[in-house]
A and B are shown apart, each in its own frame.
Chain A
C-alpha cells in the first residue's frame, strides 16, 4: 500500500546532506551487510528443492510468517513516504494502517487463506490457473512480473537517492552495493533467505525508529501537549483526527471523502493488495500448516496497527516540535527550505547521536533491501512456475526449476537496476507504477474472491471479468487524462485530487470485474464439481477448530484484532 503515497523522493534535490555519520555508525551499517550475506551463504544448503527455494520448505512458524508478511510491506519508502504525508495531511494518512489494511488482512486470514493453502498452490497466479485455467493465469502472472520488477527498481532508485541526499553517498555506489548484496542472498537461499532478512529488518526498523516517537513525545510534553502545539501552530486545520474531516472532498487536504476512503481505499485497493498481491501472500503460504498461516496473517494485522507509532506519530511530532515549517518538494527546491519528505531524517538528526543514527540509517537501508528482496523472490517464483514452467518448458526436473529460480533472482536484480536507471531519466514512471498497480491488482481480487466463494463462476467468467476490470481501469485513467472534467463522473467531484481519482477508479474497476464475471458466468458452462475440489467454498474440506481451545483459534484472535481496530477508530475519530 506504499503506492498511494509513493513519493518522488528528491528527484531533483541538490541540497547538502542532512545527516553526518560517525565511525560507530558506519560499523553498524557494515555489520548489517556482513550478516545478511552470512545468512544467505548459510541458508544455501537448505534451499535445494523447489519447495525449499520458492516456499521456504513450508515450515515457517506463525510468528516468523507473520513478521515476514508485515515486513514485506513495511519498507523504507513506506516509513519515509507516510511520515512525510502525515506532516502534510495529518492523521488521516493513518487510514492506510486501519481501514485500508486491517479488514482486508483479517479477511485474507479467515476467509481466503484456507483456499490458498489447501489448494497447495505455489503462487496467486497458480491459484488462478487451478480455478480458471491458463489464460487467466497468464494475464495475472505477466502483469505481476512486470509490476514487481518495476517496484523493485523504484525501491532501489529511491534508496540510492535517499542515501545520496541524507548522507551524501554516491548514487551508483549505493545502488550497486545494495542490489548485489540482495542478489547474492536471494540467489543463495531463495524465499528462506528473504524471510530471514525480513524478520531481521522488522526488528531493525522498530529499534531504529521507535526512539524518535518516544523522545518526541517527551520533548512535546505528551500526546495532549503535542496536539495543543499543532493546533496552535496550524490554527484552523485538523491534523489529529481520522474521520472528523472526511465529510466531503473539500474538508481535508487529501481531497478525499469518506465514501472514497471506505469503498475505494478500504475495499477495492486494500483487498486487492492484501489478499492477492503475491509479494505478501507468499510469506504466509510458507507457514508450516493452515493454522500457522492464519495466525501469522492475524499477527501481521496486529503489527500493522502498531506501525503508525513509528510512521504517523513522527510526522505529527514533526508538526509540533520542528522549529521550521516544511514545504512541498517544488517549493523546497525553489527556496532552499526543507521539504515534507525530509521529516523523518530531520527527526532522526534531532534526537539520534552517534550509534543511534547508525541504527536508524541501517533500518532505512534494511527496509529498502528487504523490499527489493521480497520483490525479487516473488518475481523468481512467478517467473519460474507461472511463466517459464507454464508457457516455455512444461516438463523439467525440480533441480532445473530451482536453478532457473536462482538465475531469475540475479536477472530480477539486474532488471530492477535497469528500471532504477530508467526512473532516473523518466521520473513519471513512479506515478505510472501506481496506476499500473491498480490496473493489475484490483481486478485480480474480484476474480479470485468470486472464484473462491461461488462455484458457479466459470473459466470464461473469470477471464473476461479480469479483462473487463483491467480495461475499465485503463479506460477511466485515459478518460480523465484526456478530459479533466470526467472526474465529476469518475470521482463524483470535478476538482478531485489524484489520490481520489486513483481510489474511485479502483472501485469502478472492481465493480466492473464483479459484474462481468457474474454475467458471463451465468451465460457459460461451469466446471464440474470434481474439478473444483480444494478450490471453492463448499467443495473444500476446511479443518474444524472444534477440538481446539479458544485461545488457539484464528477466529478468536481475528475478533480481538477486529475489536482493537474498531476501538482505535473510535478513539481517534
Chain B
C-alpha cells in the first residue's frame, strides 16, 4: 500500500457544489416568487425551489465548513 495521502476530502467538494446550487436555486425561487412565469409548473404554489434550494444551501454549508481544507 502506498503511503497515506491527505487530500481535501470529497465531502468538501460535495458541500461546495451543493452550497453553490442551493444559493442559485433559492435565489431563482425568490425571484420567480415576485415575477411569476407565464407557464408555471404544476404545484408552483408550493415554491419548491425555495425550500429545496434552502435544504441544499444548509447541507452544502455544513459540509463545506465541516470538511474545509486545513481542518483536522
In residues 237-259 of chain A, which contact B (Cβ within 8 Å)? none
Residue in B5, B18, B29, B49 whose beta carbon sits within 8 Å of that of A46 in the complex = B5
Q: Are B5 and A211 in contact (CB under 8 A)?
A: no
Judge whether A39 is part of the interface by a CB distance below 8 angstroms: yes
A interface majority secondary structure: helix
Contact A353 B14 (CB under 8 A): no
- Shortest beta-carbon distance from B3 to chain A in Å: 8
- Roughly how many angstroms separate A345 CA and B41 CA in the complex, as a whole number? 13
Number of B positions contacting A (CB below 8 A): 32
Complexed CA–CA distance, A7 and B65 (Å): 42
**Count of chain A residues with Cβ under 8 Å from any Cβ of B?**
39
A64 sits at the interface (CB 8 A): yes
Closest chain-A Cβ to B63's Cβ sits at a distance in Å of: 9
User: A207 at the A/B interface (Cβ < 8 Å)?
Assistant: yes
CB <8 Å contact, B1 and A51: yes
> Residue on A with the closest CB to B63?
A203
A52 near B2: Cβ-Cβ < 8 Å: yes
The answer to whether B10 touches A211, judged by C-beta atoms less than 8 angstroms apart, is no
Any B CB within 8 A of the CB of A354: yes
A283 to nearest B CB, angstroms?
A: 13
**B interface footprint on A161-199 (CB within 8 Å = 1, 0 otherwise):** 000000000000000000000000000000000011001
Complexed CA–CA distance, A207 and B58 (Å):
13
Closest to A35 in B: B17
Which chain A residues lie closer than 8 Å to B7 at the CB level?
42-43, 46
- Per DSSP, chain B at the interface is helix
Min CB–CB distance B16 → chain A (angstroms): 8
Which residues of chain B have C-beta atoms less than 8 A from A27's C-beta? 24
**Smallest CB-CB separation from B5: which chain A residue?**
A46
Q: Please state if A352 and B4 are interface contacts (CB–CB under 8 Å).
A: no
| Best-surrounded residue of A32, A46, A359 (most CB of chain B within 10 A) | A359
CA distance A528 to B16 in the complex (A): 54
Contact partner, A351, options B18, B25, B27, B41, Cβ 8 Å: B41
Chain B residue at smallest Cβ distance from A354: B28
> Are B42 and A64 in touch, CB under 8 angstroms?
no
| B13 in contact (CB, < 8 A) | yes
- Does A356 interact with chain B (Cβ within 8 Å)? yes
- Min CB–CB distance A437 → chain B (angstroms): 30
**From residue A359, how far is it (CB to closest CB) to chain B in Å?**
6
Does the CB pair B41–A31 fall under 8 Å?
A: no
Q: A200-B17, A352-B41, A355-B24 are in contact. Are A211 and B48 (CB under 8 A)?
A: yes
Chain B residues near A (Cβ < 8 Å): 1-2, 4-5, 7-8, 10, 13-14, 16-18, 20-21, 24-25, 27-29, 32, 37, 40-44, 46, 48-49, 52-53, 56
* 5 contacting pairs across A/B (C-beta < 8 A): A24-B27, A35-B17, A59-B1, A215-B43, A219-B42
Given A203-B14, A351-B48, 15 additional A-B pairs, CB 8 A: A24-B28, A28-B24, A31-B17, A43-B7, A51-B1, A51-B2, A52-B2, A52-B5, A57-B2, A200-B10, A352-B48, A353-B37, A354-B28, A356-B25, A356-B49
